Amino acid sequence: MLATTTLFGLSEEDIYLFNQGSSYHSYRFMGAHPVKFEGRLGVRFAVWAPNAKEVRVIGGFNGWNGIDHRMVPIGTTGVHALFIPKVKEGELYKYEIVAKDGTVIRKADPYAFYSERRPGTASIVARLTGHRWQDGKWMRWKKKNAPYHRPLLIYEVHAGSWKIKGKEDFYTYDELADDLIPYAAEMGYTHIELMPLAEHPLDQSWGYQITGFYSPTSRYGKPAALKRFVDRCHQNGLGVILDWVPGHFCKDDHGLRRFDGTPLYEGADPNRAELPLWGTLAFDFSRREIVSFLISNAIYWMDVFHIDGFRVDAVANMLNLHMDKPAHMRTYNELGGRENLDALRFLKLLNETLFRYYPDILIIAEDSSAWPAVTSPTYQGGLGFNFKWNMGWMNDMLRYMKLHPNDRQHHHHLLTFSLCYAFSENYVLPLSHDEVVHGKRSLLNKMPGSYEEKFDQLRLLYGYWMTHPGKKLLFMGGEWGQFDEWKDGDMLDWMVLEYDSHKSMHRYVRELNQVYRETPSLWEKDRDPDCFQWIDVHNAQQSVISFIRRGRSSFSVIIANFSCHDYRDYRIGVPEPGMYQPLIHSGDTRFGGYIENATTACYTSDNMKWHGLNQSISIQLPPYTFLLLTYLGNTQ
């Protein structure tokens, strides 16, 4: 047994579990914690640096000279600890590590809970407690309402460009709460998804290249302000999803790279560790301490900040040792395959652990591969996520929409193929930031044709997206048809809402969101094949599709015309006799279309067989039109 003084109040069991890869709350003892030890107030520091010759704590409290603050190695665990009296919350600090070859390096704390604003790189002592949460009603509601059978409509936000006050003059977490929360709630979203908020040195990385995994970025304020933001979201009926990046980390000197003078968080083999496309390093998932670090990180965001779930970034890259690597850098697993078996084991353990602690969590895989059973439980051989981005639908759909309307008839499969696999996973249909940046053009500007036709087709796309099986995600600015692609250094083009075309698109998206949330047939049975029935899937020549969405006790009929032609008397089969009421029509003049009061007239079915159904209705179908009908019953 080690002496209590040597441990500085740390638990031997905690450190043992950390070394075994099964400490899922390691943030509670690793890092810098204000504590009372042996009757004195101060801060206890703990860091993992197994190959260091010596580790010292440096900071403003000792003039950045750690000669009198050498940390004590705790046996052979690789953990070094020290209690320093009189150090207080808000103090800046780093670890000064003497490598085995005598090289002295200065590192930020991997478990820092707050960090100096870039370009500064120091860690800051911060408490984890102090906020009095007021979101009990939301937390109780979550436990009773599984996301699978509820509407899920996600607004993806980059906090540094949604709104800003000037160049690099960002909105704070509190200012975002004042503006973003009521806006998202009024637009009808169920969740806000925030692009990575962990501390990162480069704005242009959007938060995906991280140095402080436990540190909410200081660009927007203190951690306490982020807690207030999440709390206010919950009080306004909005969940919060965080983009989370457990696959890799950036190579800045103060970060995790060669942390103790040797490859530690990354693997020793550079061919496996290096990710040349991104200029980052992959985590070494074979190291048990890395598993403790990462799973604890996810638990930390849930415990401390009440985050409702994660969009897990780059799952395909984690699983595939060859992805985005030149031939000379490709490595193989012990079975001779390209699968990263350590990452596979990690992801399964991650999801099992998170669901054990938080059964109502959202864990959404951003996975572009065809890996099977991503959203199936691990005990059934799956990866254990509960949702997956449907990248296949997104790629096919955007490719289809960019075609000239006269060419679409030759690529009809791009419109319909997704229904061949739509029920193989729990899908989210993403129209995300990745599709509107780096020369890809905005969603609006992907549409062919005239200025007016671009808006017509974007409304059509949104209608099909909203009624296709799967949950929904839209990147900020898409709701009003941002014309320029996303500029991460500037704020969104809010000024375009002064123009009727964008204002009408904004109104359309808001009403489409509301119709989605109020129409159970669009979300009650998303993964059940019985929720979907084609009326006519084969009309490639006219580029028109029609289908039925079914809920537990209701159904809706959807018609979409992707052509530039006006079909005056277009007949479709319907499943029941009676009245069909338009819920939303993309061609309504209120949305920028050409049909006055498009949703006021009901359609009465005729006793005429069509499309294999006993009843049918005849409708006018202008170019680029989406129409959603609800069944009112048989009034005859």
| CA distance linking residue 602 with residue 620, whole number of Å | 12
Alpha-carbon torsion (271, 272, 273, 279), positive or negative: positive
- DSSP one-letter string for 406-455: GGGGGGHHHHHGGGGTTTSS-EEEEE-GGGSSTTS--HHHHS-SSHHHHH
Out of 109, 199, 274, 313, pick the active-site residue.
313
**Cα(206)–Cα(504) distance, integer angstroms:** 30
User: From CA 98, how far away is CA 214, in angstroms rounded?
Assistant: 24
User: Residue 25 to residues 17, 39, 111, 171, 289: CA-CA distances in angstroms?
Assistant: 10, 26, 11, 31, 12
Q: Are 52 and 16 in contact, with CB atoms under 8 Å apart?
A: no
Q: Tokens 């005729």 map to which residue?
A: 606
- Active site includes 38? no
Backbone phi, then psi, for 115, in 5-degree steps? -135, 155
Find the Cα–Cα–Cα–Cα dihedral 216, 219, 225, 226, rounded to 10°.
-40
Q: How far apart are the C-alpha atoms of 5 and 38, rounded to whole Å?
A: 9
Give the residue from 456, 473, 296, 306 showing the smallest Cα distance to 388.
473
Q: Give the 3-state DSSP-derived string for 9-71, with helices as H, strands as E and coil as C.
A: CCCHHHHHHHHHCCCCCHHHCCEEEEEEECCEEEEEEEEECCCCCEEEEEEHHHCCCCCCCEC
* Residue of 199, 366, 367, 396 marked catalytic: 366
Count of C-beta atoms within a 10 Å radius of residue 501: 18
Q: Which strands, in side-by-side order, build the sheet including 274-275?
A: 248-249, 280-282, 274-275
Q: Are 195 and 159 in contact (CB under 8 A)?
A: yes
What is the end-to-end Cα distance of the chain in Å, rounded? 85
Name the one residue in this structure whose structure tokens are 């079975």: 335
> From the centroid of its chain, how far is CA 171?
21
Report d(CA 359, CA 22) in Å as an integer.
19
Nearest to 582 by CA among 601, 604, 562: 601
366 part of the active site: yes
Mind telling me the catalytic residues?
Answer: 313, 366
